[in-house]
Structure 1
Amino acid sequence: MYFDQVDCGNRVRRVRTALGYTQENVAEQLNISHSHYCNFEKGKRMLSIDALIELAALLHLSLDFMLMGQEPQNDIIRHKVRSMIEFMTAIEKEL
């Protein structure tokens, strides 16, 4: 097992787009430039460990999955499902 920067960026890009975030949104949340974030997703640059942790929290990813592609544990999946249910419930109340 080894770290592949390009694969990491691709995994993050897929999750980011699935959640509806733009690169600009994420870069702003991480307090980094859009070009730095764009280069991260392309595998050309790495983020600081602090930014990686913030990104994992923002996208509801485990660092294991984000960096190495290892599937998340059941408790992480359970947390994501609960978050989605809460989100959908809030939307339903607004309708």
Structure 2
Amino acid sequence: MKIDYTALGKRIAKRRKELGLKQYEVCELIDVNYKYLSNIETGRSAPSLELIMSLCSVLNTTPDYFLLGTASAELYDNDIASKITPMTDEHKRLISGMIQLITEIENN
């Protein structure tokens, strides 16, 4: 299986932006040169396995997302939980009701 480094780089950039991080911030966290990360995100450089794992840790995702474009259910669970946690109790009740409605629709 051949790795599509352009797609991998786009996924890294997308995830970084989803978290509101700038390239230089990620570079500081994983101790790499800004130009190198830029080249990875544009598919001009291939990251090492160690760097992919560091990026996964910093960007709170899994290698399968970066390499294949798929994310584990655990990643979705963590993402949803992080968004719901700071909400008010009223908003949490509304979301719970929405989930219940979706579940009922799927079961019918």
Q: Which has the higher contact order (CA 8 A, sep 6+)?
A: 1
Question: How many matched pairs?
Answer: 87
In structure 2, distance between residues paired with 1:83 and 1:4: 30
Q: Which amino acid aligns with 1:77?
A: Y
Q: CA RMSD in A?
A: 1.6
Alignment partners' CA distance in 2, 1:59 and 1:3: 20
Which AA in structure 2 matches 1:72? A
Cα distance per residue 1:5-64 (max 9 Å; x no partner) = 001101111111121101101111110100111100010112221221110111111111
Q: TM-score, normalising length from structure 1?
A: 0.79
The alignment-based identity, stated in percent, is 24
Residues in 2 aligned to 1:82 and 1:2: alpha-carbon distance in whole angstroms: 34
Distance across 1 between alignment mates of 2:80 and 2:66 = 18
Gaps of 5+ in 1: 90-95
1:73 is the counterpart of 2:72 = yes
Q: TM-score scaled to structure 2, two decimals?
A: 0.71
Kindly indicate whether the alpha-carbon contact (under 8 Å) linking 1:36 and 1:45 is maintained by their aligned counterparts in 2.
yes
